[in-house]
Structures are given as C-alpha cells and as structure tokens.
Structure 1
Amino acid sequence: MSTPERRDFEERYSACFTDFALKTVTGLLIGSMFGGFFLRGYRRWPMYIGGGLGFGMAYSNCEDSLNTFLLSKEPRPCVIK
C-alpha cells in the first residue's frame, strides 16, 4: 500500500494535468473567440496567446502546489549505501 504522503503527492500531480488541460483549452477557446469576433476575421495569434497564457497559469499553479507540499516535509540526510 502507498503511504498517505505519496498518495497526496500523486493527487496533486494528477490535479496538475487536469488544471493544465482545462486552462489551456479555455485559453484557446477564448483566444479564438476574441480573434473571430473582435478582429473581424479568423486570426490564429490570439488563439496561440490564449493557449500560452493558460499553459503558463497552469504551470505556475502546479509549481506552487508541488513546492509547498515538498518544502513542508522535514529534510532527511542523504545516506549512500
């Protein structure tokens, strides 16, 4: 069986992938809507910018979540066997 600490890390890690998918797809959709409605024609650069912003936000949230979990652990000395 896995320990609760390992399970919590795995849950946070899988939540990162879900967060990445949702924010990137939402950014792509909002960017394509912006390009289609406000720029009077289908342009791809707003879609790429929206996807990039979604990816960056998901990466930042994932990094913060995993760092707070990993840095809250008590450091153990490295032992070479």
Structure 2
Amino acid sequence: MAGGVSKGHALEAVAKKLGYSLKDCIAFGDGMNDAEMLSMAGKGCIMGSAHQRLKDLHPELEVIGTNADDAVPHYLRKLYLS
C-alpha cells in the first residue's frame, strides 16, 4: 500500500471535501486497520467485539456494544436524538 493511504487519511479527505474538520467526525472501528482513523477522528469509538490489541492501544477511547447489538445506530440515536 502506498504511503499515506489509510482509513484515517480517507476520513480526512472526505471530511475536508464536505467542509468539515476531523474534530467534527466520529469513527467506529474493530480492527487494527482502524487504529489510525480512531485516533484522528474527533471522537473514536471501539466496538465491543474489537481485537484486544486495539483496545489496549487506545484505552482512552470509549468501547461500545457489538455490531450484532446494533451498537452504532444506538450510539448515534442516543447522541443526536436524545
């Protein structure tokens, strides 16, 4: 993979194109390939079923439920509609 190519840099490019900054973004992840994106976003959330290495790498990030529990839509609903 070319240098500078990651989910984090993709998030940065999309946010910029839409007129947002990374601090305005929420990222959800469960694998080590999500680590950079989670650290770059204004709010990073780790899925409950994530690899333990990811949880250990980012102990400061909130761990939410699993995909099976629809944790992402529940989190967004609570954040924006409550």
TM-score, normalising length: structure 2:
0.29
Structure scoring higher RCO (CA < 8 A, sep ≥ 6) equals 1
Answer with 1 or 2: which has the greater Rg.
1
Give the number of the structure whose residues are more often strand, by fraction.
2
TM-score, normalising length: structure 1:
0.29
